[in-house]
Structure 1
Amino acid sequence: MNAHGIVHKYGDHVDTDVIIPARYLNTQSHKELASHCMEDIDKDFIHRVKDGDIMVAGVNFGCGSSREHAPVAIKASGISCVIAANFARIFYRNAINIGLAILECPAASAEIENGDEVTVDFDTGVITDVTKGTTYQAEPFPPFIKDMIARGGLMASLKAKEAAK
Structure 2
Amino acid sequence: MQFNGKAHKFGNDVNTDYIISGKYKFKTLDMKELAKHVMEDLDPDFYQKVASGDFIVGGSNFGCGSSREQAPLAIKYADVSAVLAKSFARIFYRNAINTGLPVVECDTDQIGQGDEIIVDLAAGVINNKTKGNVIPIKPLPAVMIKILNDGGLAAHFRKFGGFNFD
Moved more, 78-87 or 154-163: 154-163
Contact 1:53–1:81 (Cα < 8 Å) also in 2? yes
Matched, 1:7 2:7: yes
State the Cα deviation string for residues 14-37 of structure 1 (Å, max 9, x = none): 000000000111221110110110
**1:89 counterpart residue number:** 90
Q: Distance in 2 between matches of 1:103 and 1:125?
A: 10
Q: Distance in 1 between matches of 2:103 and 2:124?
A: 11
Q: Distance in 1 between matches of 2:46 and 2:101?
A: 18
SS, match of residue 86 in structure 1: coil
**2:17 counterpart residue number:** 17
**Amino-acid identity (%):** 48
Match for 2:105: what amino acid?
E
Matched, 1:113 2:108: no
Q: 1:150: Cα distance to partner?
A: 1.4
**1:134 counterpart residue number:** 133
State the Cα deviation string for residues 21-68 of structure 1 (Å, max 9, x = none): 001112211101101101111011000111110111100000011111
Equivalent residues, number: 161
Q: 1:143: Cα distance to partner?
A: 2.0
Moved more, 24-33 or 96-105: 24-33
Q: Distance in 2 between matches of 1:30 and 1:64?
A: 20
Normalising by the residue count of structure 2, what TM-score does the alignment of the two structures yield?
Answer: 0.94
Moved more, 86-95 or 140-149: 140-149
**2:104 counterpart residue number:** 103
Match for 1:72: what amino acid?
L
Q: Which runs of 4+ in 1 moved over 6 A?
A: none
Q: Distance in 2 between matches of 1:133 and 1:38?
A: 28
Match for 1:9: what amino acid?
K
Q: Distance in 2 between matches of 1:85 and 1:142?
A: 17
Normalising by the residue count of structure 1, what TM-score does the alignment of the two structures yield?
Answer: 0.94
| Structure 1 runs not aligned, ≥5 long | none
Q: 1:152: Cα distance to partner?
A: 1.1
What's the C-alpha RMSD, in Å, of the aligned pairs? 1.1
Q: Where do 1:144-155 residues align within 5 Å?
A: 144-155=143-154
Q: Distance in 1 between matches of 2:134 and 2:146?
A: 24
Q: 1:142: Cα distance to partner?
A: 2.2
SS, match of residue 62 in structure 1: coil
Q: 1:162: Cα distance to partner?
A: 2.3
Q: Distance in 1 between matches of 2:159 and 2:9?
A: 34
Match for 1:149: what amino acid?
L
Q: Distance in 1 between matches of 2:75 and 2:25?
A: 14
Contact 2:8–2:114 (Cα < 8 Å) also in 1? yes
